Structure 1
Amino acid sequence: MHVPYFVKKTGFPSLLTSCSIAALLCLSAFSAPVHAEQAEAPSKTQGSTAKADTPAFEGKAALLPQDAVTHHTATFNGHKISYTARAGTLTLRDKDGHPSARIFYVAYTQDGAAPENRPVSFFFNGGPGAGTAYLHLGAAGPEILSFPAGNPTDGANAKLAINPDSWLPSTDMVFLDAPGTGWSVPTDEKKAAKEFYGVKQDARAFAKAIQLWSSTSKRLTSPRYLAGESYGGIRSIEVANALMEQQSIIVNGLIMISPALDMSLLETGINPLATAMALPTFEAANLSLHHQLQPDTTARQLNSAYSYALGPYLNKLVNTPPAGDAADTFYNEIAQRTGIPVNIVKKERGALEASAHDIRSRDGRLYSLYDATLSIADPYPEGVSDSDSPEPTLSGFGRAYGSAFEQYAASDLKFATPITYNLLDLNVNASWDYRAGQGLLAHQIPVLRQLLALNPSMRVFIANGYFDLACPFATSRWVKEHIPVGQDRISLHLYSGGHMLYTRPESRAALTQDVKAFLSHS
């Protein structure tokens, strides 16, 4: 889950509100933590906790139990697999060797597979401030949280079930919660922002956690992939770089789902290019809502929308605003393409702000930033301040992943704690430091370019939903088209759906098959 910067106008947290906090910490690797002993795992029905040689924690960190190991057998898309699940924590330490955080993870490893050949994928969500339950129970894990087919916004009646599209047949999986999210707990909340809540600090923490798991699990020679959603796109780039520079670990590939690739591409309020990149999503959603987006015409229609947005539309945005008949022609074409009423388009002067209530509200329905075809009854059809306009996905049905993961962890993984699973921490989001040092915002596209050049075997898989206004598919296409080295190693895959495209069963199945093909080339 990604909390996009432009939701500041709707009262949701801003990705850019933390640019005034202290400068980033200097880079320094964490010293090796004391880790949980590898224990003999019991059957799934019995569960187990492994003896852990851990420090004496205090406060919330002391409420996390020892590692739990369970055995499972299940069938995924015709593949019967026996696997071991380990739910536990990794201890990060500061430069003086003192524990700084307990990082919660769940690892799924296929029984009997040769570790030197078996890929392992490390998962994280975004936000910043989101736990990994979204990808865990939404896309790749052994179980899925399914929403009612007739009402995908009904989180109250979502149910857990075996995930037929789990990635387990193709890869072992390690799901990691970022510090301050899920069940990953900093040992000192007063120091957490400086230690973890920033682009570089965050990457350093993940790189160390991945190194710890890989070392203790004897998987340092396995093919390895990073899988991130939303801000997890930025995170995957930065973590790959930190792994190489700080842990001497080189990844085989990156898998990005609905990724934010660079903050500048989401700055619709000040960047005309970012504004133009949202327009194809508006157009795709409008076509879908009018049943005009068909499988045999989708590629052509999306290409046309992309060409218009980055051609005539962007040209109008960056030049002198049209007036008179030229303005009417411009605004009418935008209205026709997007379905936004022409009076609203005119008020916005053609630069549509996706988070504005009057753009999301139409005919008594309020549409989501995360899926522009998904709507709820508008609680304020007469109009309301943008700051009071709710977000159907972020504040509605998406919250069901938190309690569902607590249930799944306790019943299936035998990992129970009185701590509430912190699905989306808005304080972490508000505290985030986006700077790369010297007071500048971090830009990840240059980092990605260097990774592709330095690592000639690294490949990148990008998945986007047509209807995602939080991280529009046009941003991924534009980045791919402007990478000078390794462009042929970046594959872009588009699916029917929004930011959480995997909530649609047909798109989830297609994503899994495409990831399987991607991983088979490792």
Structure 2
Amino acid sequence: MSARPKRLLAILLMTSGLVATSALADDTHGLAAPVSAAPAAKPVPVDKPEKSDNALIAELPADSVTHHDLTLAAGHLGYTATAGTLTLRDDEGAPSAKVFYVAYVADGQQVARRPVSFFFNGGPGAGTAFLHLGAAGPVVLNFPAANPTDGANAQLGPNPDSWLRFTDMVFIDAVGTGYSLPEKPAKAPKQFWGVKQDGSAFADAIRLWLEANRRQRSPKYLVGESYGGIRSIKTAYALQTEQNIPLAGIVMISPAIEMNLIGSTDNPLADAILLPSLAAAALERDHKLTPQAVDDAYRYAFGPYLSTLAGPPLGADAAHDFYGKVAAMTGLPEAVVAKERAQIDPQAHDVRSRDGRLYSLYDGTLSIADPYPEGIDNGDSPEPVLAGYGLAYGNAFTGYVEDALGFRTDLKYDLLNLAVNKAWDYKEGGDLISRGMPDLRKLMAVNPSLRVFIANGYFDLTCPFSGSRWLIEHMPVGRDRVRLKVYPGGHMLYTRPDSRAALAHDVSALYTGSP
């Protein structure tokens, strides 16, 4: 069998640097127009101008504070939005970066008891527009129900499932993404674009916001998506050990936690982790998806399937039976399974292409017309999310932050900076690729009140739900404080309205301490 291509981290989230043409309505969808008013909390201090090697820094406007009203099932909720930047500094006190953030603070709340959550996406190199407009913010980007891959006709509207009803929110873009800019671009890779320094930078930004807004006593949560899973763990560890800030909880959505379980090739354990998601997608396409059927696929994957892959080579008859079983579970042709020797590469064109449709790595049930139904090299086959509707979040966010939040700039919002992704240093200590579980184990041990919620989509082939389940099952400490919930959907499970609503409901239980 020919060498299988690596499942590169570049597929983890979410889109490329292309510009989409999603529709953005002219009004602000019920949001109040921006006004110049000081927030109730202490504003972020404005730094004196200091020399920067990055001319784009001068294009960042002053912080903008606006007031809005959100209609929820329980009534109206007034809130204050701040779109602005935080200044990170190096060990000598010199500015090292301007970090863009958007904060939403509910009006009239007791801040000592009101939780505050800090959001970030992954990539690495992705901005927070996905979680911001997709899951938790007060405004959501809705895709046409008749064609969820149609980003050109996506529309912004109020989010009835906004997390603002149970937590204040701060969305932070990593340096090099969104509107976050390094002061010295030549030093950015060493300063920011690596596992440990990234966690430290986010921890520092969080400390700055907490101090400026007098929120040190508030319960604190982190929310990360995709590579943001590892990022949330590393940031939590940096907050605990570098900033003296313990957390109340961590929420991970479609997380990458152990890269060797999703980014490796010819790894039987990684193959076993992928198989139940392939099976779940096939069940959904056949309208047979049930929790029991998925659980059966999980047990087969980590039982007979894994032992067969790791065992001695099969004889002809046994191989035929094995490949037939895997083909029946995944809905793939037996010839394709045999060619892959049952170690399915989800990027392969003949795995993704069926009956003239091309299926997504991010959602195994979502497809577009295959532009190459006759077959093509894997690298030339487009990804419906990566190069498709996911791009709509970038254009929509640019319009929203300017029109509704009053943060106006000619700078491009970097939805995914591929230069950051390419330059990322995954090494940490003696590990050649980043790992989250060692630090999570320590956090769960030293912070006995820390609770973790993990959300996965059944049909996500990039960060399969089985990886989260298997890791939780093998946690030696704190397992009773980690909850996993799997939803109908893919990597961006929140693009499905029902799953977005269920996610908000389930996450709120983490904040209230409900089981």
Report what 1:37 is aligned to: none
Report what 1:403 is aligned to: 395
Higher mean C-alpha displacement, 90-99 vs 213-222 = 90-99
Whether the 8 Å CA contact 2:34–2:65 is kept in 1: the answer is no
Q: Secondary structure at the match of 1:137?
A: helix
Q: Secondary structure at the match of 2:452?
A: strand
Report what 1:233 is aligned to: 229
Shift of 1:46: 4.0
Report what 1:291 is aligned to: 287
Shift of 1:386: 1.1
Separation in 1 of the partners of 2:85 and 2:468?
A: 34
Q: Secondary structure at the match of 1:441?
A: coil
Report what 2:66 is aligned to: 70
Give ranges in structure 1 of 5+ residues lacking alignment: 16-42
Give the letter for the 1:53 counterpart. Answer: D
Report what 2:109 is aligned to: 113
Give the letter for the 2:313 counterpart. Answer: P
Shift of 1:292: 1.0
Give the letter for the 1:491 counterpart. Answer: R
Q: Deviation digits for residues 331-359 of structure 1, max 9, x if unmatched?
A: 00100000011110000001001111111
The equivalences for 1:323-338 within 5 A come to 323-338=315-330
Aligned with residue 89 of structure 1, among 85, 93, 96: 85
Shift of 1:207: 0.2
Give the letter for the 1:485 counterpart. Answer: V
Aligned with residue 124 of structure 2, among 125, 128, 135: 128
Q: Deviation digits for residues 15-50 of structure 1, max 9, x if unmatched?
A: 8xxxxxxxxxxxxxxxxxxxxxxxxxxx94243387
Aligned with residue 189 of structure 1, among 177, 185, 196: 185
Report what 1:448 is aligned to: 440
Q: Secondary structure at the match of 1:88?
A: strand
Report what 2:42 is aligned to: none
The equivalences for 1:28-107 within 5 A come to 44-48=32-36, 52-56=46-50, 57=52, 58-107=54-103
Separation in 1 of the partners of 2:174 and 2:444?
A: 25
Report what 1:390 is aligned to: 382
Give the letter for the 1:454 counterpart. Answer: V
Q: Secondary structure at the match of 1:131?
A: coil
Q: Secondary structure at the match of 2:407?
A: coil
- Corresponding position: 1:281 with 2:273: no
Shift of 1:442: 2.9
Give the letter for the 1:235 counterpart. Answer: R
Give the letter for the 1:258 counterpart. Answer: S
Shift of 1:290: 0.8
Q: Secondary structure at the match of 2:428?
A: strand
Q: Secondary structure at the match of 1:74?
A: strand
Whether the 8 Å CA contact 2:266–2:343 is kept in 1: the answer is no
Report what 1:435 is aligned to: 427
Give ranges in structure 2 of 5+ residues lacking alignment: 13-30, 39-44
Q: Secondary structure at the match of 2:439?
A: helix
Report what 1:506 is aligned to: 498
- Corresponding position: 1:245 with 2:233: no
Whether the 8 Å CA contact 2:260–2:433 is kept in 1: the answer is no
Shift of 1:438: 4.6
Shift of 1:150: 0.4
Give the letter for the 1:115 counterpart. Answer: V
Give the letter for the 2:318 counterpart. Answer: A
Report what 2:373 is aligned to: 381
Aligned with residue 176 of structure 2, among 168, 177, 180: 180
Shift of 1:53: 3.2
The equivalences for 1:196-211 within 5 A come to 196-211=192-207
Q: Secondary structure at the match of 1:239?
A: helix
Give the letter for the 2:436 counterpart. Answer: Q
Give the letter for the 1:303 counterpart. Answer: D
Give the letter for the 1:174 counterpart. Answer: V
Separation in 1 of the partners of 2:504 and 2:174?
A: 24
Structure-2 change in CA distance of 1:468 and 1:123 (3 Å)? same
Whether the 8 Å CA contact 1:14–1:429 is kept in 2: the answer is no
- Corresponding position: 1:483 with 2:475: yes
Q: Secondary structure at the match of 1:322?
A: coil
Whether the 8 Å CA contact 2:224–2:252 is kept in 1: the answer is yes
Whether the 8 Å CA contact 1:14–1:430 is kept in 2: the answer is no
Give the letter for the 2:215 counterpart. Answer: R
User: Paired residues, what number?
Assistant: 484
Separation in 1 of the partners of 2:89 and 2:439?
A: 26
Structure-2 change in CA distance of 1:82 and 1:14 (3 Å)? closer
Separation in 2 of the partners of 1:173 and 1:186?
A: 24
Shift of 1:271: 1.7
Whether the 8 Å CA contact 2:277–2:458 is kept in 1: the answer is yes
Report what 1:302 is aligned to: 294
Q: Secondary structure at the match of 2:177?
A: coil
Whether the 8 Å CA contact 1:463–1:493 is kept in 2: the answer is yes
Q: Deviation digits for residues 182-239 of structure 1, max 9, x if unmatched?
A: 1111112111111111100100000000000000000011000000001011000000
Report what 2:218 is aligned to: 222
Separation in 1 of the partners of 2:105 and 2:475?
A: 35
Q: Secondary structure at the match of 1:453?
A: helix
Separation in 1 of the partners of 2:143 and 2:178?
A: 21
Structure-2 change in CA distance of 1:46 and 1:264 (3 Å)? closer
Identity percentage of aligned residues: 57
Shift of 1:78: 3.2
Q: Deviation digits for residues 429-474 of structure 1, max 9, x if unmatched?
A: 1111111135633321111111100100000000011000010000
- Corresponding position: 1:470 with 2:434: no
Give the letter for the 1:492 counterpart. Answer: L
Whether the 8 Å CA contact 1:6–1:14 is kept in 2: the answer is no
Q: Secondary structure at the match of 2:198?
A: helix
Separation in 2 of the partners of 1:500 and 1:64?
A: 30
Separation in 2 of the partners of 1:492 and 1:439?
A: 27
> How big is the alpha-carbon RMSD for the aligned residues of Structure 1 and Structure 2?
1.6
Whether the 8 Å CA contact 1:49–1:67 is kept in 2: the answer is no
Structure-2 change in CA distance of 1:476 and 1:439 (3 Å)? closer
Separation in 2 of the partners of 1:111 and 1:343?
A: 61
Aligned with residue 461 of structure 1, among 431, 453, 457: 453
Report what 1:516 is aligned to: 508
Give the letter for the 2:35 counterpart. Answer: G
Whether the 8 Å CA contact 2:454–2:484 is kept in 1: the answer is yes
Q: Secondary structure at the match of 1:332?
A: helix
Separation in 2 of the partners of 1:417 and 1:437?
A: 40
Separation in 2 of the partners of 1:340 and 1:381?
A: 15
Structure-2 change in CA distance of 1:423 and 1:49 (3 Å)? farther
Q: Secondary structure at the match of 2:66?
A: strand
